[in-house]
Amino acid sequence: MKYRVLSLFLAALLVLSACGAPEVPSSGSPEAPSGPSAPSAPVPEPMPGPEPEPAPEPEPESGSEWEFDAPENHRMDPEVLARLHEILPGTTVSSMVTVRDGVIVDEYYKEGYDENSTFPIHSCSKSFTSALMGIAIRQGYIGGVDDLLSDYLPQVAELEGSKKDLTLRHLLTHTSGLEWYEWSGPTNWVEFQTAENWVDYVLGRRQVAQPGEVFNYSTGNTHLLAAALEAVIGKNLLDYGQENLFEPMGIETITWGTDPQGITDGGNGVRISSRDAARFGQLYLQKGVWEGRQLVPESWVEESTTPQNGGYGDSAGSYGYQWWIRPYTAGAYGTYAPPYGPVRYDTYMAFGAWGQFIIVVPELELVTVITSQGPQGGFVPRPYFTDYILAACRPD
């Protein structure tokens, strides 16, 4: 009996000891014990790290890719344009791009060419030189169009007669009075292009009219503009244009020839793709603004595309600052009956030998580029614009 009582006492003692012992969670336990079993060293809270810098906003891309859309979505008759594409392969036109409402609505390339091809646009180059002149005036390199040429080409001050009175305006408007033969008939073009020094050649021409009195189209005038610009800005026109015009617009295909002294051929030397040429026309349609940036002063766009004189008084039109200005009528040449009638529109254009055009029609929000193969008369491609592009436009 004594042993039984002792056994019961020992068993009870073991049970009480087991109940008082704390539980130790295993290393895999998902929870810590509810109360501390023994004091432990405090664990320092992690120090906050530096705030992460926000990711920089992506730089805006220079220019933008062209958008494309069906012509009927921009008030143009696709049947008229289809007829144009039927006849163009049999012509000298190498490319034709039309933009309306800021999108390309029609595009043609002769076999062997495509959107990456570049074309010599000849005297359309003059309008590019004019744009850079406007930018240089805004930036303070040039005082204004009535500055003397001798302010920038000091050798002019030593010339005979009224040559020393030549201003930039006289050059911009082809009213220098310097003897020149380029528009029709016998020409001094080859003589100019093969001269050892083009600037000296132009300045050495006879003064046959007082500056400002007579319009006489001359690539020599524009070459003097290019020489004056480069003398004051200290770089060639292509580099200056890349910084201030071409790169901001996304124009990537342009090249620009030079004379034997390395002066940019401001009146004739541009090669460019038709899509990039259309960007230049679109810039002027938008009054010098590209993606919110005023690249060319609006006032310069306005002055350049407003008649400064009557030109030759022929079908080429009036003349501004290296831009031609004239109205065109849909169906004017009668090669295709315009479905919306013979509507007349004001236009201005860059125009080059053998049928190179950048035509801007503000009323229609339209730009058309035409490049052509030569030699041929410069007006030959005009019916494709008047009788098809203009004819396809539904008046607003």
Residue 64 has a pLDDT of: 72
Q: The dihedral of CA 84, 90, 91, 97: what is its sign?
A: positive
Residue 63 has a pLDDT of: 56
Cα distances from 313 to residues 16, 109, 309, 318, in angstroms, run 124, 33, 9, 7
Return the closest-CA partner of residue 283 out of 238, 350, 345: 350
What number of CA atoms fall less than 13 Å from residue 275's CA on the CB side? Answer: 23
Query: Could you tell me the domains of the chain?
Result: 67-117+273-396 (3.40.710.10), 125-254 (3.40.710.10)
Phi, psi of 271 (to 5 degrees): -115, 140
Residue 333 is which amino acid?
A: Y
The verdict on whether omega for the bond into residue 375 sits within 30 degrees of 0, i.e. cis, is yes
Return the closest-CA partner of residue 358 out of 297, 299, 300, 272: 272
Residue 395 has a pLDDT of: 83
DSSP calls for 355-369: TEEEEEEGGGTEEEE
Model-wide pTM > 0.95:
no
Residue 185 has a pLDDT of: 87
Q: Which residues contact 68 (CB under 8 A, 6 or more apart)?
A: 103, 104, 105
What number of CA atoms fall less than 13 Å from residue 240's CA on the CB side? Answer: 24
Residues paired with 365 in a beta bridge: none
Residue 241 has a pLDDT of: 98
**Antiparallel, parallel or unpaired: β 289-290 and 270-272:** unpaired
C-beta of residue 270 within 8 angstroms of C-beta of residue 299? no
Structure tokens at 242: 């890349």
Taking only the tens of pLDDT, the chain with its 396 residues reads 433 433 433 333 333 333 333 333 333 333 332 333 333 333 334 444 444 444 444 444 445 799 999 999 999 999 999 999 999 999 999 999 999 999 999 999 999 999 999 999 999 999 999 999 999 999 999 999 999 999 999 999 999 999 999 999 999 999 999 999 999 889 999 999 999 999 999 999 999 999 999 999 999 999 999 999 999 999 999 999 999 999 999 999 999 999 999 999 999 999 999 999 999 999 999 999 999 999 999 999 999 999 999 999 999 999 999 999 999 999 999 999 999 999 999 999 999 999 999 999 999 999 999 999 999 999 999 999 999 999 999 987
